[in-house]
Copies of this chain bind each other. A is one copy, B any other.
Amino acid sequence: MPEANFDHLSTMRKDAESIFSAGIEAVTGDRAVFQHCRLAGSVFHACDLCFDMNRFDRIWVAGAGKASAPMADAIEKQINGKIAGGVVSVKHGHAMQLEKIRTIEAGHPVFDRNSVLAAEEILSLATSAGPEDLVIFLLSGGGSALMAKPAPPVTPAEKQDAVKQLLLCGADIHEINTIRKHISTIKGGRLARAAYPATLLTLIISDVVGDRLDVIGSGPTVPDTGSYGDCLRIIQHYGLSGKLAENIVSMLENGASGSLAETPRADDPVFEKSYARIIAANGTALEAARRKAASLGYNTIILSSMIEGETRAAARLLSSVAKEAKNSGNPVRLPACILSGGETTVVVKGTGRGGRNQEFALEAALDIAGMENTVVLCGGTDGTDGPTDAAGGIVDGQTIQRAKHQGIDAESCLENNDSYHFLQRTGDLFVTGPTGTNVMDLHLFLVA
C-alpha cells in the first residue's frame, strides 16, 4: 500500500475525485459490456448466460439510453462479424459512428419526434426478427424518453400532459409508470412481445433505486404486473377522469373491458426465450469506488446503494455517520471512506439554482463544518446535476468558514435552494462534463 497523506485537505479532495472517477469508469457503457460479456469460440457469454451464436440465423442489436451507443460499440467489437444490423437511440449530440449499428439522436428528458421514430424502428426490427434470430437490446438511463411511442390514438402531447397531471396530483412513480406502460406501444413488456418468437437478450445499466427490471425504462422487455383496471383506479383515486385527454381515458376503459391486449405477465409465452440482466448499477460504481479508496489507503464501507428521500435529511444522516467515525471509529476506522449512492429528492422552496447533489454538498458542508480532515463529494454519475453545468459539489470541513470570510451565508443559500452559487463562490463545485452513463448519484465522505 502506498504511503498516504491524509493530513492535507487538498490531497483528500484529489482522492475524493479519483475515487468518484473510478466509480464512473466501472459503469460506462463499454466497460459494463466488456466486464460481463465475451465471445469464446462461438459461445457468447453474458453474465450467467451462454448463447451458441452458430444457432442463430441473424443477430440484431437495438437499444435506448444515454449509454446505449458505447454499449453498442462494445457489442460490435466483440461480435461484429455476426451482427446483421441494428439501431440505438441516444441523446442529441451523442451519436457515434458504428459499423453495423445506426445511432439515432432523440430528446431527453422530454421525448421528441425522433424518440417516436426510434421506437418505431426498434419495434419494426424486433417484429421482423424471426424465431431463429437473436435480438440484443441495450437499455440504460434515459431510455424511456429516448424511445417513446404512445399507443394510437393517444398523441405525444396528450401523454406528456397525462404524466404532468399525475405528478401534480401527487401520484407516486409506480402509479405513473402503470399508466405510462398502458398508453405505450413499447413499454411494459410490449417490446418483448414484438420480438417474440426471436430470442431476446436485454442488457441493462440501471438508473433506478432498487434496480427493479420493470421500472428501468418502464420495462420494455420484461413482464408487467399492472393492469388497465389499475390505471382506471389510479385515475379515479386522484380525480383525474375529467382532466386527462378523452383519448387516454377511453383507451384505458377499452382495455379494462377486455377489448385491448393487456401488457404481458411473467407467464406469458413471449418471455420463454427472453432474458434480462443488469450489467451495471449504482452498486457497481460503489464497489469500484471502494476498491480505489482502499488502494489509496482508506478503510472503506458501503452503507447503501438505495439512498432515497429528502436530500438534506439524507446528507445530515450520512454526515452523522462521518462524525461517529471521527469520534469513535464506528462504523469504520480512520482514515475512512464512507460510500453510499442512490437518488434523493430536493424540496424546492427557494428561487436559487442547484441540483440534488449540490444541495447535498451544501447541507453536508454545514454538518461537517469545523471537522478536520473531512471531505464530502456528491455527484451525479451522468455528470449533470439539475439545470447546471456541474455534476455536484466537493466540500470540506473548512468550506463554511471560507464562505463566511467571503460574506456568504450558507444557511440562507440553502433555504433559497441556491447551492450552485454558493459552491461556485467557495470554489466547491464539482464539474465533470457528461459521462455518457447514469447509475444515479454517489456520495463519498472521506474522514482522516
Contacts and interface: CB of A to CB of B under 8 A. Distances in A.
Given A283-B328, A328-B283, A321 B303 contact: yes
Contacts of A277: none
Given A307-B317, A317-B314, A321-B303, A331 B328 contact: no
B317 A313 contact: yes
Copies in the complex: 2
A402 B303 CA distance: 29
Contacts of A317: 304, 307-309, 313-314, 317-318
Interface string A298-337: 0001111111111011101110110110011011000000
A323 B306 contact: yes
Nearest to A331: B301
A173 to B, nearest CB: 15
A47 to B, nearest CB: 16
A392 interface: no
Contacts of A301: 330-331
Contact of A306 (B314, B324, B331): B324
A342 interface: yes
B308 A320 contact: yes
B328 A305 contact: yes
A310 B309 CA distance: 11
A324 B308 contact: no
Contacts of A302: 324, 328, 330-331
A311 to B, nearest CB: 10
A214 to B, nearest CB: 15
B310 A310 contact: yes
Contacts of A309: 312-313, 316-317
Contacts of A308: 316-317, 320
Contacts of A305: 324, 328, 330
Nearest to A290: B330
A336 to B, nearest CB: 12
Contact of A313 (B283, B303, B314, B328): B314
A182 to B, nearest CB: 23
A328 B320 CA distance: 23
A304 B330 CA distance: 7
Contacts of A283: 327-328, 330
A327 B316 CA distance: 24
Nearest to A330: B302
A94 to B, nearest CB: 31
Contacts of A331: 301-304, 331
Interface in A242-256: none
A301 B328 CA distance: 12
B323 A304 contact: yes
Nearest to A322: B304
Given A317-B317, A320-B342, A330 B310 contact: no
Contacts of A210: 323
A305 B314 CA distance: 16
Contact of A304 (B286, B306, B321): B321
Given A301-B330, A302-B330, A306-B324, 14 more contacts: A210-B323, A283-B328, A286-B330, A302-B328, A304-B324, A304-B331, A305-B330, A306-B323, A306-B327, A308-B316, A309-B312, A309-B313, A310-B310, A317-B317
6 contacts: A286-B330, A302-B328, A305-B330, A307-B320, A309-B312, A309-B316
